[in-house]
Amino acid sequence: MPELPEVETMRRGIAGAAGTRIDRIERTPCRRKPIAIGPSFAQLRRRAEGAQIERTDRLGKRVVLWLSTGDALVFEPRMTGLVLCAAPPTNEHLRLRIILAGGKTRQLLYWDRRGLGQVHLHTPQTYEEQLEAALGPDALTITADDYRESLGKSARVIKVALLDQRAVAGIGNLYAAEILHVAGISPRRQCRRLTRRAWHALAEATRDVLAEAIRYEGSTLSDGTYRNALNQQGRYQNKHRVYAKAGERCPRCNEDVIKRIVQAQRSTFYCPRCQRG
C-alpha cells in the first residue's frame, strides 16, 4: 500500500536513472492479467524508447519520470506495485522491464503482486489535465490554510476526507491514522467542526509524520509487500503509534487502549483518550 512516504522512497531509490536513455521497454512474461498501460503498450514503446530520462519526480502517490520528449512516464503502484532498479521480490509478478543505457542504473522494473497498479505515458497536456488538476495540495508541504480551503466546510468525517486525493494528495489509510493520532484529533470528527487550532495541528502532524516516515524509508507491513527500489524493507512500521495496533496500549497517554473502528469500509485505529478533539 504505497502512500506518499513509500512512493517518495521508491523515487529516491531510482533517482540515478536520471541522465540515462530508455533503450527498450518489455512486458515481462507474467501470465496473469496484464496491468493497465496507457495509452497502450505499443504507444508507450513507440514514444518512450530512445528518450532520455531527464529527472525523477513524485506526484501524490505516483512516481514520475520526465522524458526528453516532454512526456511524463507515470507509475501508479496503488496497493502492491513497486518501482525497482534491483531484483524484484518474485519474478512471477514482474510486469514491466525498462532497459536503460548511458548510466550506472541499467534497468527499471515495475512489479505488482495484485496488478491493480497502472503505468501511463502522459503528454504535458494530459499530465496537467488528468493528474495535477485532479489532486489537492501535496501532503508533505500542506498548510493549515490549504486544509481549511479544501475541507473546512465539508460534512465528511476527517479520517475519510484525508483519503480523498482531491483534498490532499499522498495520504492513505495507514498515515491518516498516524497523523490524526499525532494531531490529537478524533477520526470521527466532522471536518466543518474542526477549529482553526485543529487545522494547524493537523497540517503540522501531516508534514511531520510523512517526513519522519520518509526518513525511515516507509512502512513494510506484515504482508511484506512494500520494498524500496533496492528490494529492501522500510523501517517505519516499528514507529507506528496506532495503525494495526488495536488492543495495545496507546504510546502517547499510556493509559487507554487503541481502538479499531470501520469508516467507509476501511479500518481506522485511534486512541479514544488522546483523540477527543
Partner DNA sequence: CATATGTCCTGAGAGC
Partner DNA sequence: TGCTCTCAGGACATAT
Residues assigned a catalytic role: 2-3, 61, 266
155 vs 254, beta carbon nearer DNA: 155
Alpha-carbon span 260 to 277, nearest angstrom: 18
Alpha-carbon span 211 to 217, nearest angstrom: 10
Considering only the C-alpha atoms of the chain, give the largest distance between any 2 of them, rounded to a whole number of Å.
60
Shortest Å, Cβ 27 to DNA: 15
Shortest Å, Cβ 214 to DNA: 16
Shortest Å, Cβ 210 to DNA: 14
42 vs 262, beta carbon nearer DNA: 262
Contact 67, 51 (CB under 8 A): yes
Shortest Å, Cβ 274 to DNA: 20
* Strand ordering across the sheet containing 118-122: 36-38, 118-122, 72-76, 62-67, 53-59
The residue written with cell numbers 503540522 in the block is 204
52 vs 123, beta carbon nearer DNA: 123
DSSP string, 17-54: GTT-EEEEEEE----SPPPEEES-HHHHHHHHTT-BEE
DSSP string, 154-191: --SBHHHHHT-TTTSBS--HHHHHHHHHHHT--TTSBG
Map residue 84 onto helix, strand or coil.
strand
DSSP string, 208-270: HHHHHHHHTT----TT-----TTS---SGGGG-SSTT-TTSBPTTTSSSB-EEEEETTEEEEE
22 vs 169, beta carbon nearer DNA: 169
Chain residues that interact with DNA, rule: CB under 7 A: 1-3, 32-33, 60-62, 76, 78-79, 92-93, 113-116, 134, 154-156, 160, 163, 165, 172-174, 222-223, 262, 264-267
222 vs 254, beta carbon nearer DNA: 222
Shortest Å, Cβ 85 to DNA: 22
15 vs 30, beta carbon nearer DNA: 30
Shortest Å, Cβ 21 to DNA: 29
Alpha-carbon span 26 to 99, nearest angstrom: 8
Question: Smallest Cα–Cα separation from 75: which of 111, 37, 118, 34?
Answer: 118
